[in-house]
Amino acid sequence: MAPTKTSESKIVPEFLHHTCLTVDEHDIEATKDIPRLYVIATHATTKAAKEFAHHALTSMGYDKADFAVYQEQTPDAEGWTHGDGVIVYAKAPASQEFFVSIDTTLNTENLCAQEDGSMILPHGADHLQYILQTKIDYRADRAVTTQVQGAYLKRNDAIEAAKWCLLVDGPDDAEALYDQFDAREDLSVPEDWPFGEDVVVHAVAYTGENFLVSLRTPPAAYLKLSKHGREKWHSAKQKANEVSK
């Protein structure tokens, strides 16, 4: 379906295309923070999203020279082994792997965009709130997959939608589909909440899979995954390790 045109310069796209960054630290301590996928930008067209994805790491302060391996998926690229949705793959000298990918969701809030694919957010907003759903399958060697489930303008709307993300047919699904189902009303973290500060829902299916539904924003992604943000994180971790010795 073609996007709805509201004026000569504005459209309401049916779909939103989200550029995501995942960093695999290959470190047990680092992987405790699930999901590791962050949304760093949204565009109204696939073309605009792909163009941004090719420069996403640059926008976060990295240079190609920072990586031992840096590869981009292009129409003439042969032997691409990093998945259809991955646009950029990079590997740091310390073996951390960076995956820039694109995920697509419906434009449920009828957000507007320019015809070039850039978003037009109302009320002075500069970013969206994203719902991420992570599935952890311990039967498949702890296989972890994360997908974007929706993008919302208001944080409270995103939290409310996150509560229902795993309940297709209503509240009864919690008992019918899950052996354990934990949800919280907001993002204030109770002392007995062990699932992560951004996680709204945790569930365990009768088949054994674990699910986490969380909220993430681009500012958090840039703070945690940008070059200087990661440098600060690793420095703090190193100091903590030295103190504990």
pLDDT digits (tens, 9 = 90+) for 39-75: 999 999 999 999 999 999 999 999 999 999 999 998 7
- Please give the Cα distance from 107 to 144 (Å, whole number): 26
For strand 86-91 and strand 97-106, is the pairing parallel, antiparallel, or unpaired?
A: antiparallel
Rounded Cα distance between 186 and 218, Å, is 19
Q: What is the dihedral of CA 27, 18, 71, 24, to 10 degrees?
A: 0
Average pLDDT over the chain, rounded to an integer? 86
- Domain extent listing, the chain: 1-125, 129-216
pLDDT in tens, 174-201: 889 999 999 998 888 777 888 888 999 9
Other CB atoms within 10 A of residue 67 CB: 19
**Cβ of 115: how many Cβ atoms within 10 Å?**
15
Q: What is the Rg, in whole angstroms, of the alpha carbon atoms belonging to the chain?
A: 19
Q: What are phi and psi of 43, to 5 degrees?
A: -135, 160
